[in-house]
Structure 1
Amino acid sequence: MIPMDSRVENRIYSLYVLEELLKPEGYVIASNWDYDNGHFDLKIDDEGKYYYLRIPFYAVAGSLDYPGVTVRLEKPFLLAHQYEKGIDEDSRGGAFQGTFNQFQPPIDPDAHIPNDYIDIGKQLVEKLEQLVIPEG
């Protein structure tokens, strides 16, 4: 995990507005959210490892399952997960086995992030700032 300095940190937004701005760019709200916190993920690459730019957020008015919730963005960071190769490719277990293997934990949840991806992350954070911080 590599924290990325950003002007979005500690800014407050309607979650609905953030979704309208970020989803067209490829961001998704990760499935492991809670009622008071969650994060947007942008997949950068999935060649051998999964590289993401993650933007955590916390509810400041309402809860995440409530329409109109307001959230505060936290410091974005780069994240790399490495999964065991061949699990999804092995069809010997059939559909039943695949149902369980899709939820496999990463073999390295905090894998090394090469400098090239750090540079990409910096560019993505700049674009994020342009998307969500009003000019003026």
Structure 2
Amino acid sequence: MIELSSTLPGKSYTLYELEQKLKPMGYVIGGNWDYDHGSFDYKIDDQGGYQFLRLPFVAADGQLDSPGVTVRFGQPYVLSHVYQQGLDEEASAGNFSGSFNQFAEPEDPDGRLKEKYIISAKRLLEEAEKMLNA
């Protein structure tokens, strides 16, 4: 995990507004959300694991599943998850594989990041900052 310099930390937006602006850019709400925190994730690549730009946020008023909730950004970072290979070779075909692979423990949750992913993450973050500050 590498934290990135950003203008976003501390800024607040409605979650709805963020979804309207970030989802068309390719961001998704990460699966690690809870009622008081979450993140917008952009999958940069999936070679040898998964490389993501993560824009974490916390609920500033209410809970994330409440209409009109406002969220406040934390420090963005880029991360790499390298998952174990061959845990369940039988479950590697079709839609069924996702139900098993999603529960696999990462081989290295803080996998080494290649410079190209850091550069991509910085570029993507700049684009998101421009979109949100417009």
- Name the % identity: 48
Instruction: Show CA shifts across 1:62-110 (max 9, x none).
Output: 110101000001110001000112346x227989x95444311111000
Q: Which residue of 1 aligns with 2:90?
A: 91
Instruction: Show CA shifts across 1:23-81 (max 9, x none).
Output: 11111111221111111110000011200000000111111010100000111000100
Larger-Rg structure: 1
Q: Give the root-mean-square deviation of aligned CA atoms.
A: 2.0
CA contact (8 A) 1:4 1:76 kept: yes
Can you give the 5+ residue segments of structure 1 that lack an aligned partner in the other structure? none
Task: Pick the structure with more strand per residue.
Answer: 2
Matched, 1:26 2:26: yes
The count of residues paired between Structure 1 and Structure 2 equals 132
Can you give the 5+ residue segments of structure 2 that lack an aligned partner in the other structure? none
Q: Which residue of 2 aligns with 1:132?
A: 132
In 2 relative to 1, CA 71–91 (structure 1 residues): closer, same or farther, beyond 3 Å?
A: same
Aligned partner of 2:59: which letter?
A
Matched, 1:2 2:16: no
Separation in structure 2 between the aligned mates of residue 5 and residue 75 of structure 1, nearest angstrom:
8
TM-score, normalised on structure 1?
A: 0.89
TM-score, normalised on structure 2?
A: 0.90
Partner secondary structure for residue 106 of structure 2: coil
The structure 1 segments of at least 4 consecutive aligned residues displaced by more than 4 Å after TM superposition are 92-95
Separation in structure 2 between the aligned mates of residue 93 and residue 24 of structure 1, nearest angstrom:
30
Partner secondary structure for residue 13 of structure 2: strand
Matched, 1:16 2:16: yes
In 2 relative to 1, CA 63–84 (structure 1 residues): closer, same or farther, beyond 3 Å?
A: same
